[in-house]
């Protein structure tokens, strides 16, 4: 019998129905290949094993026949292939388990394969957003929140901005057509700020997308 781990979700990617007046503007998930390359550092890992293979070959080629030297170096390539497959599998599973949602009120991130977490980030709690463009139209949007961090870098990884450990920034990772998504986010945040200003008659800073 098939089983859907997210069957309890009333709407894909959200743990509960949106409140009245909240509208979903965009939903998506990471491109699994770009996630493997950029977040799991696929090419760097392969380069590491390539260096090990060359080093092993150079250390034995003077003492062993050429065919034997190649043979004793091949295990590193086998290990590299196994690691590459594992990284690709992890990337695919992570991408399939992830749903990013932008509404007219917030950004929601359902992330994690083994430990699933749904992160709700109201626009009123987002101080800044940084856009980083990658290859093939994919890119990342990192969200800097106000106040002290309530997020764990390890729990959010790989959906977090690299090297920001003290105050992790939740990140929409490897999003296809990232420019269009960034425009949706910026417009939604701006509309929310204007709405709040009309209600409170007090100025609040607008969310701007900074390019990394």
Chain segment 9-32, per-residue pLDDT in tens: 778 888 888 888 899 999 999 999
Question: What structural domains and CATH numbers belong to the chain?
Answer: 112-211 (2.30.29)
Residue 179: how many other CB atoms lie within 10 Å: 12
**What distance in Å separates the CA atoms of residue 43 and residue 39, rounded to the nearest whole number?**
11
Number of H helices, E strands in the chain: 5, 8
pTM of the complete model? 0.82
**pLDDT tens digits for range 53-79:** 999 999 988 888 988 999 999 999 999
| 31-43 pLDDT tens trace | 999 999 999 999 9
């Amino acid at each position: 019998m098939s089983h859907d781990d997210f069957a309890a979700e009333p709407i894909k990617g959200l743990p509960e129905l949106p409140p009245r007046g909240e509208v979903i503007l965009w939903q998506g998930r990471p491109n699994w290949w770009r996630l493997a390359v950029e977040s799991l550092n696929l090419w760097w890992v392969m380069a590491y094993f390539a260096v090990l293979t060359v080093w092993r070959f150079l250390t034995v080629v003077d003492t062993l026949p050429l065919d034997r030297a190649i043979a004793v170096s091949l295990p590193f390539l086998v290990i590299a292939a196994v690691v590459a497959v594992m990284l690709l599998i992890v990337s695919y599973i992570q991408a399939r388990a992830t749903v990013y949602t932008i509404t007219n009120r917030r950004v929601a991130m359902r992330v994690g394969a083994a430990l699933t977490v749904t992160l709700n980030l109201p626009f009123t709690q987002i101080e800044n957003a940084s856009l980083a463009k990658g290859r093939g139209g994919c890119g990342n949007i990192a969200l800097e929140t106000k106040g002290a961090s309530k997020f764990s870098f390890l729990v959010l990884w790989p959906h977090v901005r690299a090297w920001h450990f003290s105050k992790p920034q939740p990140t929409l990772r490897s999003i296809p057509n990232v420019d269009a998504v960034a425009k949706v986010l910026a417009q939604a945040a701006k509309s929310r700020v204007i709405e709040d200003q009309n209600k409170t008659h007090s100025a609040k800073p607008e969310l701007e997308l900074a390019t990394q």
